Structure 1
Amino acid sequence: MSLQSLRIKPKRPFWKLPQHRIPVLSLYKSLLKISKSFPDDLHQKYLFYNIRQNFRLRRHETSINKTVEHLKEAQECKSNMIKALKGNQELFQHIDDLAWGRKGRLKEVLDILANWKRPKLHKFVLDTRTHGARILDPHSAYRIPLDKRLYTAPEYKESEKRLPKKNHSFRSDLRIYTVVTQLGYKLWRVRGLKQPAWVSMMMNKRIRAHQRRIDKFHQLEEQLEMVRIEQYMLNMLDPKLAKEEKSFEEIILRELNESKKYHDKVVKLQARKELDVDI
């Protein structure tokens, strides 16, 4: 006997077996198909959302007895829907009351909205499900919106009285000083007040940009020196090889000249503290 035949295979749960999944899915599809046969659009929406929600809430059920009860309930619901379509007034009226919010979950939602004292928040009622259903399926695709025919949010008008804008002027005892940074930038500071965060962030950004330009200049100088050393070595080996390396030197010199303009200007103005930039 082989080892594979002796291996103990784990048992698959019943809700993953095709003998269970196929009948349940067929029942679900038949319920949705019957719900589309109702003449009123409001009835169709209510039945569709209700059927989908009940099947999704019970999809993780592990008890066989409870699963059998849920399937019996679904079969009973299917037979009641068929009877209502065939002319049973009592069952049809029951579905009509549920769809129009005269009973059931929609009635609870409408009662809450009627007693809500903050009309501006009515437009945020997009989901009529219970709290447990929202936690289980938080995605917006599974929301059950409230039909506009059942409830219309009252118009919210903002109050016309608005407070006048205050002119934030400096006090008479405060003085403004012109401060020059190490890089030569000039800015105003008010003694007695904390420096705003945006000024600190702006100066930090300028310092980083300045440092990047200086680093680039020194990096180009090092690269130029390396290229010249290679040219000297190649010239000693073969003058023809040294001519091919001149193109690299020209590219580095071009970028170095562009970077040197800013570098020399900043060094001179930094020493004299004459760099003035509007902030």
Structure 2
Amino acid sequence: DGAKVLTTDILCDNGIIHVIDSVILPGESTIPETAKAAGKFETLLAAVKAAGLADVLGGSGPFTVFAPTDEAFAKLPPGTVETLLKPENKDKLVDILKFHVFAGRLYSDRILETNGLRMLQGAAASVSLRDGSPRIQDAKILKTDIDASNGVIHVIDSVILPPQAGADAQRKLEEAVSKGVSLFNSGHHAACATVYRNTMSELMSTALPQSMKSQMASVIDQANHTQCPTERAWVLRRGIDQMYSQLNTQR
């Protein structure tokens, strides 16, 4: 960043000091502005705009962005980017992009100290050192610590995809229905409704698409305003069945 290193490797009890001849300040440009100036993140910036995340990533943050280059996006199967940029796939695009963002300013010297990063999307991304190179998921980190006014950018060589939350969600829904049906058939309608509601509430904190979470929140709210335990159980069951069907479609 323009500072000359005057003295190196001064050992301390808790680290190493390098003496420089000037103060290093964070970048004055936001993350999107910094990425645009670099000239190799055009696809990423187009995706951020299509997903409606430009204002978020240009906000106060701070954020750590693992930014795939244009070449990284080009490695995806033909037509993938074009499909993701379509309005009907906005939720999926948001999920993928948020899986590249960590809430907080995390420099390279701390990345490998973590046991994985809980990304803005909700799922955890693994970090490792492989063949001498730091990686997040299977993506190699090519360049680190590009400062922005509201965070830091690390350049990666591949697009990283969030884990498939759908299969786990379906399994939990199946377990809830199995338990709920038994309770309902035994006359314990309120207990059945509680099982369904608790399961849906648990799934709200997972890495499912935001549209599905909004749908679950609406069903839970409707159930909370339904006095009859029998009808409340059915409101939740219909919501579970609809959600299960949508998850089947996505797999």
- Scaled to the shorter chain, the TM-score interval is under 0.3
Between the two structures, name the one with larger relative contact order (CA 8 Å, sep ≥ 6): 2
Q: Could you say which structure has the higher helix fraction?
A: 1
Higher relative strand content: 2
The normalised TM-score by structure 1 is 0.25
- TM-score if structure 2 supplies the norm length? 0.27
